[in-house]
Structure 1
Amino acid sequence: MQEIAATSSLLPYPPLSFLELLFRLAIALILGAIVGIERQIRHKSAGLRTYMLVSLGTAFLVLVPIQAGVAQESIEAVSRLLQGIITGVGFIGGGTILHHGGRNGSKDEVRAQGLTSAAAIWVCSGLGLAAAFGLWQMGLVGAVLTWFILDIVKRIEPHIDP
């Protein structure tokens, strides 16, 4: 019985009005920009445009089946879609990770760089998901918390690990 109740609360996804669609896509852009601005200011390889595109692209990929009526058919179809998006964004994030020599320039020591950017790209996809499903409050909280981690925690980190 709980399974039926959980499924019925998620379905159906009726097609959205143009204004609602525009609002959700604009929210996805704004949420991506909140994260992307911080990355741009720090001159990271993935900057403002990348984060906005990841968030917008994720929202698009979720909204297309909703608008086409495919999302009304089954929760399994929506689940597979989300799995594909999350996997695909993982590949984009993986592209931001570079391996260099160690801190002392030793080529024997391998050090990964860009892990935070990769994680932020993945989170940005989640922000786009929230916007696409109309959960803009959750997306806004997620974007602010992400910014907090990227900016404020970055300043605290050197004092934790000298």
Structure 2
Amino acid sequence: MTEIHTPRLLLRRWSDDDLIPLADINADPHVMRWVGDGSVLDADGTEEAVEGWEEEWDEEGFGIFAVELLGSGELVGAVGLSVPEFLPEVLPAAQITWRLGRSFWGQGYASEAAQATLEFALQDRGLDRVVGIVRPGDEGSKNVLRKLGMEPERATTHPLYGFPLHVHSIDLSEYQG
């Protein structure tokens, strides 16, 4: 089982006990406004998402982690890697992504978990390139990408939803770990 410990967090695979707290996070419109088309997810949609993330772990050897606080075991959210098949122009690459409950914003958890995930991608999994895909206006996520050392690569449009996207990237030769 793949686990990553940071000073404050445990990144791990998903369990059934994570579904209700993640469904609560996914039901918050403020959390979901930058995810996909901005729609919230109900419990069934959350379960489908976790099933898809677990399938990606099995197929790719990486995926989206459940993120919990080390001290309390409370679920903070989801951080990890996925293949951005919806945007073929950036392939081959893995996309780093995160989604944290609103009560955990502004405490550096997204940056801490994303940094550990980037190190996992480039050093443990041997990936050559990782991208971050954000929508204009999502300044919090852009700030995390800057902290990771990712540089703007291109502007594009989401092929399904039609809104603008900014792609940032880093490759193994640029990574300062």
Q: Is the pair's TM-score, using the shorter chain for normalization, greater than 0.5? A: no
Counting helix residues as a fraction of each chain, which structure ranks higher? 1
Task: Determine which structure has more spread, i.e. the larger CA radius of gyration.
Answer: 1
Counting strand residues as a fraction of each chain, which structure ranks higher? 2
* Bigger relative contact order (CA 8 A; separation at least 6): 1
TM-score where L is the length of structure 1: 0.32
